[in-house]
Amino acid sequence: MANTPSAKKRIRGTERKTVRNKMRRSKLRTAVRGAREALAQTAPDAAHKAVMEAISHLDKAAGKRVIHRKNAARRKGRLMKQLSALENKK
């Protein structure tokens, strides 16, 4: 347990940040899941829109340091690779 006032303040701040980051991470995971489902249904227009939304969420999460920037880049690359394969197939 924290003893100093500054340590107690840091704990309070960390709790607030944890709540915000959980919300951002949840929205991110939902967007990525939606993009993967859209890619699986082989509808290029819907998939493109879903992938762009997921990429936006990934960029925002990386910018806020909810996830690591290279983690975001890897996920974006994989989504774009799948989208490109889907668009080339058609």
Query: For residue 55, what pLDDT band results from cuts at 50, 70 and 90?
Result: very high
Return the pLDDT at 39: 95
Helices (H), 1-90: 5-40, 44-63, 69-89
Return the pLDDT at 89: 84
Is the pLDDT at 22 greater than 70, yes or no? yes
Return the pLDDT at 40: 95
Query: For residue 15, what pLDDT band results from cuts at 50, 70 and 90?
Result: very high
Helices 69-89 + 5-40 axis angle, to 10 = 10
Q: How many CB atoms lie within 10 A of CB 86?
A: 19
pTM, two decimals, is: 0.86
Look over the chain and give the mean of its residue pLDDT values, rounded to a whole number: 95
Candidate CATH numbers 2.60.120.620, 3.40.190.10, 3.90.850.10, 1.20.58.110; the one for domain 5-89: 1.20.58.110
d(CA 60, CA 66) in angstroms, rounded, equals 9
Domain boundaries, given as residue ranges, for the chain? 5-89
Return the pLDDT at 42: 81
**What single-letter amino acid sits at 65?**
R
d(CA 31, CA 39) in angstroms, rounded, equals 12
Q: How many CB atoms lie within 10 A of CB 53?
A: 16
Residue 67: DSSP 8-state: S
